[in-house]
């Protein structure tokens, strides 16, 4: 049957829909000149995130009580609640500091909880800000350089509207202007004690999971328009933060941190490369638009994954096989080498491995994971990749987002009675390793 133009157009539209018409990211055009980036001795660090670690520390009837979008999303029943305690890193920061000293890291990344410092729009909690300043000062006094994350997935509850999810978080009309004010205040307060700033942690992964995958707040499912819009806003917010930080202190370093799994192409499971291309775009679209506004690229690497629709629906069952983590992620140290080479070639910037880790109940497996990934980092360095630091995720077993408390990534765990952190064998291993290898 000959194709009439209407049928042909419908067929073409169906084809485009089926393949998603998702093209791979375009090659990145590096700017002619890059700022020289001095980082001194190799950064052996570790990290936490405000919402994963801080206890609430404020009574519910206090004028300074606050909630995040994640609290509300949990109240709606979509994810397990975090509870009020987490790892007590707000009221008992001293125990975290003591463990950091014991391990011997020279850098530590922690986050600011935006909702805590601005519990109502335009109302700032100066005592909370002062406490964050105190933390940075104490770290420095202990010879540990603070690295401060301004946004690690959570928004103040007043930017989240459960009845209007398409106007929540990055899509809330007030988000950019409130962000500008928040960042300005944090940079003014912490600037004298902090030289390394992370405006956003893994915006790329968060955007796909929250505005397309539906798993994280605001929970928008299969909404490419929202994803596109939220990405644009997030990029603008990143660039705004970078301008503020550099404007205040031209010597400060801005690090953009991205979730960069090693996506594997399967011709059988994804013949049109629809999923593969989409995942490449997830890795690089945001970074392509922000790279010139950062000094360092933070690579968060955990696993390899076959890019296929099936793989997103049927997840391998946790740690059943020795090659998978508690979260069902495929362990692939060589994948780190491949990601490092790709990022280095694409952007030509110094890299920090800002997160690398495994949720597992076996400390033996955790140590093997770190050892094998550090070996791949060394291999990449020998290939000429400019790597400035390595941060195992994470200092303490903590709240693992939509998984609740079901994953043990920590180098330590909290002893709630003694209110101290107990070094796991992996924490002891890391301590001995960095002591023996000040440079990798």
Shortest approach of ligand BGC to residue 202 CB, angstroms? 5
By CB under 6 A, the residues from 51 to 80 that bind ligand BGC are: 52
- What is residue 97's three-state secondary structure? helix
The residue (of 53 and 125) whose beta carbon lies closer to ligand BGC is 53
Give the separation between CA 64 and CA 120, rounded to whole angstroms. 9
Compute the distance between CA of residue 67 and CA of residue 45 in angstroms, rounded to an integer: 29
Query: Closest Cα to residue 116, out of 72, 171, 169, 63?
Result: 63
Work out whether 339 is an interface residue with ligand BGC (CB under 6 A). no
| Cα separation, 247 vs 59, whole angstroms | 37
**What sign does the CA torsion over 342, 347, 351, 353 have?**
negative
**59-67, 100-108, 175-183, 199-207 -> range binding ligand BGC (CB under 6 A):** 199-207
Stretches 3-11, 200-208, 211-219, 288-296: which one binds ligand BGC (CB under 6 A)?
200-208
Binder of ligand BGC out of 145, 288, 355, 397 (CB under 6 A) = 355
Nearest to 186 by CA among 171, 175, 197: 197
Q: Please tell me the count of residues contacting ligand BGC according to CB under 6 A.
A: 10
Question: Which positions from 394 to 413 touch ligand BGC by CB under 6 A, shown as an x/- string?
Answer: ------x-------------
Residue 393 lies near ligand BGC (rule: CB under 6 A): yes
Q: Residue 153 Cβ, how far from ligand BGC at the closest point, in Å?
A: 7
Q: Find the part of the chain contacting ligand BGC (CB under 6 A) among 67-75, 89-97, 173-181, 201-209.
A: 201-209
DSSP-assigned letter for residue 251? T
Helix axes 274-290, 224-248, angle to 10 degrees: 30
Q: Does 49 bind ligand BGC (CB under 6 A)?
A: yes
Cβ atoms of 264 and 334 within 8 Å: the answer is: no
CA distance 303 to 355: 11
Q: Work out how close the CB of 257 gets to ligand BGC at its nearest, in angstroms, rounded to a whole number.
A: 8
Among 300, 344, 408, 412, binds ligand BGC (CB under 6 A): 300
Nearest distance from C-beta of residue 73 to ligand BGC, angstroms = 15
For ligand BGC, the binding residues in 241-270 under the rule CB under 6 A are 259
Burial zone of 372 (CB within 10 Å; 0-12 exposed, 13-18 middle, 19+ buried): middle
Show the site string, 143-182: x = touches ligand BGC by CB under 6 A, - = not.
----------------------------------------
> Shortest Cβ contact with ligand BGC: which residue?
49
Which has the closest alpha carbon to 193: 111, 136, 109?
Answer: 136
Instruction: Work out how close the CB of 406 gets to ligand BGC at its nearest, in angstroms, rounded to a whole number.
Output: 11
Residue 263: how many other CB atoms lie within 10 Å: 22
At 44 the three-state DSSP class reads: strand
Asked if residue 200 binds ligand BGC (CB under 6 A), the reply is no
Q: Which residues bind ligand BGC (CB under 6 A)?
A: 49, 52, 201-202, 205, 259, 300, 355, 393, 400
């Amino acid at each position: 049957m000959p194709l009439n133009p209407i049928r042909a157009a419908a067929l073409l539209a169906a084809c485009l829909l089926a393949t998603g018409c998702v093209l791979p990211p375009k090659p990145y055009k590096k700017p002619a000149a890059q700022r020289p980036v001095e980082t001194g001795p190799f950064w052996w660090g570790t990290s936490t995130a405000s919402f994963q670690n801080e206890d609430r520390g404020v009574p519910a009837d206090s004028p300074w009580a606050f909630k995040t979008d994640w609290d509300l999303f949990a109240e709606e029943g979509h994810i397990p609640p975090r509870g009020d305690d987490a790892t007590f890193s707000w009221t008992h920061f001293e125990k975290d500091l003591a463990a950091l000293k014991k391990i011997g890291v020279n850098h530590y990344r922690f986050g600011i909880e935006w909702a805590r410092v601005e519990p109502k729009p335009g109302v700032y909690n100066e005592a909370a800000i002062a406490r964050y300043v105190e933390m940075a000062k104490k770290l420095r006094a202990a010879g540990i350089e603070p690295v401060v994350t301004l946004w690690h997935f959570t928004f103040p509850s007043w930017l989240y509207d459960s009845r209007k999810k398409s106007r929540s978080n990055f899509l809330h009309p007030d988000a950019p202007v409130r962000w500008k004010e928040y960042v300005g205040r944090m940079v003014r307060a912490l600037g004298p004690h902090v030289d390394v700033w992370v405006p956003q942690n893994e915006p790329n992964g968060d955007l796909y999971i929250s505005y397309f995958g539906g798993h994280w707040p605001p929970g928008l499912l299969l909404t490419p328009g929202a994803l596109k819009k939220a990405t644009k806003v997030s990029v603008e917010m990143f660039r705004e933060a970078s301008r503020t930080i550099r404007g205040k202190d031209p010597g400060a370093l801005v690090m953009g941190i991205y979730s960069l799994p090693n996506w594997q192409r399967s011709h059988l499971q994804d013949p049109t490369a629809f999923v593969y291309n989409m995942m490449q775009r997830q890795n690089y679209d945001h970074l392509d638009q922000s790279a010139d506004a950062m000094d360092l690229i933070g690579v968060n690497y955990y696993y390899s994954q076959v890019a296929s629709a099936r793989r997103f629906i049927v997840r391998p069952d946790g740690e059943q096989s020795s090659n998978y983590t508690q979260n069902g992620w495929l362990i692939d140290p060589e994948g780190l080498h491949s990601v490092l080479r790709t990022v280095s070639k694409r952007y030509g910037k110094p890299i920090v491995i800002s997160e690398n880790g495994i949720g597992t109940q076996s400390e033996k497996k955790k140590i093997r994971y770190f050892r094998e990934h550090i070996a791949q980092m060394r291999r990449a360095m020998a290939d000429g990749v400019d790597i400035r630091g390595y941060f195992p995720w994470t200092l303490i077993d903590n709240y693992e987002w939509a998984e609740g408390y079901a994953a043990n990534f920590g180098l330590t765990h909290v002893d709630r009675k003694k209110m101290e952190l107990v070094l796991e064998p992996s924490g002891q291993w890391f301590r001995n390793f960095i002591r023996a290898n000040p440079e990798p």
